[in-house]
């Protein structure tokens, strides 16, 4: 027998439907008539069969789905046997290839990826890598990675991460700050180069870990140079009394924010203690007469990081029952700024006192003038709540100032004729004075 391959679709695309004809075979037998009956067959274990068509012709058709990714080529052996005796047979092997179709999307090796990075990382540092496989052929199986657009804290993800399109290695674009955010998620797409391309997406979670990069921040007492913050300690305070408390916070977390308090310097080392973790300042024993009135403590606040960071503050304590008996407050603080502030305060105080004294003198003078010409002064009177009056000025009704009051009176009476404003002003004060028992 002679087996002829009349036609063959080779390669066959893997997506052909079952029953598709892939080739035509012709068998010829040159023996006598009786032996002309020829039977033709192929092996069993292939998704193909021979279908007889017109005389001595057979179609090779598929019997199932082909999958290039499982079997990419077949050696099909066609056997032809006649019905003579003894039967004669011959065979021919046909090699069939299966052509690729882009039927597999890239598949990530892991369902999701996590990257762990310490804050303050270098921009450009590698965080992790993702891998996706695509079993298709050549460009249908070539994977390209990319970051899907999205936002992290209002900024595009591309300002945080980048992914190498060929290798899937993910890099940090910037330095991360744990105090700003502790984790974020991005989507990475793996796309093949087929046409049309297939893709899959995966979530990459980035977890930022804390580094001890924040020193403790002392909230109380306020930082030095800002005030004369002092604490009053009653003279009768017993040992163990709570006197004050240092309050501090740390922006880090965990051990990096676990604070401990120590007194590093004090006027009298045996007098006060500080709670190691509470920051509470207590007397260690009863206050005695011999104790210095002014007590300064230098407190250090440390976190428990590796290495640890610290901050210090000064606490000014006054052993006294009454702030009024405290001498020269400014001695306690040695700050230049503070002494400047003190002089401003003194200037302000002196100006206010002067003003007030002038005010009193005017009142006394006006009272004098009211007695002389009461009618004129009550004309056009404006009522002002008596609450505006200084509370203690009724006391200042000394007869010793009579002489100067009289002088003022003389000035005012001349002045009030030329200036309306002064006149009204004086009238107002007079009315209010009138409400007071003189």
Residue 140 is a binding residue for ligand NAG (CB under 6 A): yes
Q: Which stretch binds ligand NAG (CB under 6 A): 25-33, 152-160, 199-207, 313-321?
A: 199-207
- Closer Cβ to ligand NAG, 95 or 118, answer by number: 95
Name the minimum Å distance from CB 5 to ligand NAG. Answer: 16
Residues between 153 and 192 with contacts to ligand NAG, criterion CB under 6 A: 189
CB of 139 to ligand NAG, least distance (A): 6
**Per rule CB under 6 A, is residue 138 in the interface with ligand NAG?**
yes
Does 137 contact ligand NAG by CB under 6 A?
Answer: yes
When binding is defined by CB under 6 A, the residue of 114, 139, 183, 241 that contacts ligand NAG is 139
Q: Write the secondary structure of the chain as one string of H (helix), E (strand) and C (coil).
A: CEEEEEEECCCEECCCCCCCEEEEEEEECCCCHHHCCEEEEECCCCCEEEEECCCCEEEEEECCCCCCCCCCEEEEEEEEEECCCCCCEEEEEEEEEEECCCCCCCEECCCEEEEEEECCCCCCCEEEECCEECCCCHHHHCEEEEECCCEECCEEHHHCEEECCCCCEEEECCCCCCCCCCEEEEEEEEEECCCCCCEEEEEEEEEEECCCCCCCEEEECCCCCCCCCEEEECCCCCCCCEEEECEEECCCCHHHHCCEEEEEEECCCCCEEECCCCCEEEECCCCCCCCCCEEEEEEEEECCCCCCCEEEEEEEEEECCCHHHCCCHHHCCCCHHHHHHHHHHHHHHHHHHHHHHHHHHHHHHHHHHHHHCHHHHHCCCCCCCHHHCCCCHHHCCCHHHHHHHHHHHHHHHHHHHHCHHHHHHHHHHHHHHHHCCC
Shortest gap between Cβ of 149 and ligand NAG (angstroms)? 8
For residues 320 to 349, the per-residue mask of contacts with ligand NAG, x marking binding by CB under 6 A and - elsewhere, is ------------------------------
Q: How far is the CB of 83 from ligand NAG (least distance, A)?
A: 30
Whose Cβ is closer to ligand NAG: residue 45's or residue 399's? 45
Number of residues counted as binding ligand NAG (CB under 6 A): 16
What is the spatial order of strands in the sheet that 38-42 belongs to?
A: 12-13, 89-99, 73-82, 38-42
- Using CB under 6 A as the binding rule, whether residue 148 contacts ligand NAG is answered as yes
Least distance to ligand NAG from the beta carbon of 41, Å? Answer: 18
Complex with ligand NAG: residue 108 or 423, whichever CB lies closer: 108
Peptide bond into 196 cis (omega under 30): yes
Q: Which of residues 54-113 bind ligand NAG (CB under 6 A)?
A: 73, 75, 95, 100-102
Task: Report, in Å, the least distance between residue 173 CB and ligand NAG.
Answer: 20
In the bound state with ligand NAG, the residue whose beta carbon lies nearer, of 75 and 343, is 75
Interface with ligand NAG in residues 356-415 (CB under 6 A): none
Stretch that binds ligand NAG, among 197-205, 225-233, 308-316, 320-328 (CB under 6 A): 197-205
Q: 249-288: which residues touch ligand NAG (CB under 6 A)?
A: none
Tell me the closest approach of the beta carbon of residue 105 to ligand NAG, in angstroms.
6
Query: Footprint of ligand NAG on this chain (CB under 6 A)?
Result: 73, 75, 95, 100-102, 137-140, 148, 189, 194, 199-201
């Amino acid at each position: 027998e002679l087996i002829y391959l009349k036609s063959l679709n080779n390669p066959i695309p893997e997506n052909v439907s079952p029953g598709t004809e892939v080739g035509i075979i012709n068998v010829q037998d040159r023996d006598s008539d009786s032996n002309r009956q020829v039977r033709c067959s192929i092996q069993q274990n292939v998704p193909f069969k021979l279908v007889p068509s017109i005389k001595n012709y057979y179609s090779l058709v598929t019997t199932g789905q082909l999958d290039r990714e499982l079997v990419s080529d077949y050696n099909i052996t066609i056997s032809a046997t006649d019905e003579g005796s003894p039967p004669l047979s011959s065979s021919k092997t046909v090699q069939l290839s299966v052509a690729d179709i882009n039927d597999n999307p890239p598949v990530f090796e892991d369902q999701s990826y996590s990257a762990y990075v310490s804050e303050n990382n270098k921009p450009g540092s590698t965080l992790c890598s993702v891998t996706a496989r695509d079993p298709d052929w050549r460009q249908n199986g070539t994977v390209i990675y990319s970051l899907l657009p999205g936002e992290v804290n209002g900024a595009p993800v591309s300002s945080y991460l980048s992914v190498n399109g060929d290798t899937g290695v993910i890099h940090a674009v910037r330095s991360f700050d744990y105090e700003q955010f502790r984790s974020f998620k991005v989507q990475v797409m793996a796309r093949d180069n087929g046409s049309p391309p297939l893709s899959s997406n995966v979530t990459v979670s980035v977890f930022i870990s804390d580094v001890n990069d924040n020193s403790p921040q002392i909230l109380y007492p306020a930082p030095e140079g800002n005030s004369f913050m002092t604490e009053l300690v009653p003279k009768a305070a017993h040992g163990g009394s709570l006197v004050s408390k240092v309050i501090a916070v740390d922006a880090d977390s965990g051990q990096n924010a676990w604070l401990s308090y120590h007194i590093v310097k004090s006027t009298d080392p045996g007098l006060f203690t500080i709670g190691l973790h509470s920051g509470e300042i207590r007397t260690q024993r009863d206050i005695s007469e011999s104790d210095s009135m002014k007590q300064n403590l230098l407190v250090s606040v440390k976190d428990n990081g590796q290495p640890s960071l610290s901050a210090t503050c000064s606490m000014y304590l006054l052993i006294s029952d009454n702030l009024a008996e405290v001498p020269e407050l400014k001695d306690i603080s040695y700050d230049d700024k503070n002494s400047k502030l003190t002089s401003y305060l003194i200037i302000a105080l002196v100006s206010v006192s002067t003003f007030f004294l002038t005010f009193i003198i005017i009142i006394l003078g006006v009272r004098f003038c009211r007695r002389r010409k009461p009618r004129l002064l009550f004309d056009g009177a404006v009522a002002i709540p008596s609450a505006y009056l200084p509370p203690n000025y009724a006391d200042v009704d000394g007869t010793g100032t009579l002489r100067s009051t009289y002088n003022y009176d003389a000035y005012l009476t001349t002045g009030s004729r030329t200036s309306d404003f002064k006149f009204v002003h004086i009238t107002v004060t007079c009315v209010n004075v009138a409400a007071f028992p003189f």
